[in-house]
Amino acid sequence: MNVLVAKTANDAERIAYTLIKERISGKHDFVLGLATGSTPVGMYQMFKQDALDCSHVTSVNLDEYIGLSPEHPQSYNRFMKDRLFDEVPFKQSHLPKGDASDPEAEAARYEGLVRTLGVDLQLLGIGENGHIAFNEPGTALDAKTHVTELTESTREANRRFFDRLEDVPTHAITMGLDTIMNAREIVLVAIGERKAEAVQHMIESVPTVDWPATILQAHPGVTVVLDEAAVSRC
Q: Among all residues, which ones are annotated catalytic?
A: 63, 129, 131, 136
Question: Would you count residue 133 as binding ligand GLP (CB under 6 A)?
Answer: yes
The Cα 45–Cα 151 span in angstroms is 30
Nearer to ligand GLP, 114 or 133 (CB): 133
Question: Would you count residue 38 as binding ligand GLP (CB under 6 A)?
Answer: yes
User: What does the angle CA 78 – CA 195 – CA 127 come to, to the nearest 5 degrees?
Assistant: 45
Question: Would you count residue 224 as binding ligand GLP (CB under 6 A)?
Answer: no
Choose, by CB under 6 A, the member of 20, 31, 36, 93 that binds ligand GLP. 36
Q: How far is the CB of 40 from ligand GLP (least distance, A)?
A: 7
Q: What is the dihedral of CA 62, 37, 189, 92, to 10 degrees?
A: 40
The Cα 173–Cα 208 span in angstroms is 22
User: Across-strand partners of 223?
Assistant: 2, 187
Taken in order 220, 224, 230, 233, the sign of the CA dihedral is: positive
Choose, by CB under 6 A, the member of 9, 126, 180, 183 that binds ligand GLP. 126
Choose, by CB under 6 A, the member of 33, 59, 60, 63 that binds ligand GLP. 63
Nearer to ligand GLP, 27 or 140 (CB): 140
Q: What is the dihedral of CA 75, 81, 83, 88, to 10 degrees?
A: 160
Tell me the window of 6-14, 22-30, 32-40, 89-97 that interacts with ligand GLP (CB under 6 A): 32-40
Nearer to ligand GLP, 25 or 170 (CB): 170
The order of strands in the sheet holding 146-149 is 63-65, 171-174, 146-149
Q: Note the residues at the interface with ligand GLP (CB under 6 A).
A: 35-39, 62-63, 125-127, 133-134, 154, 158
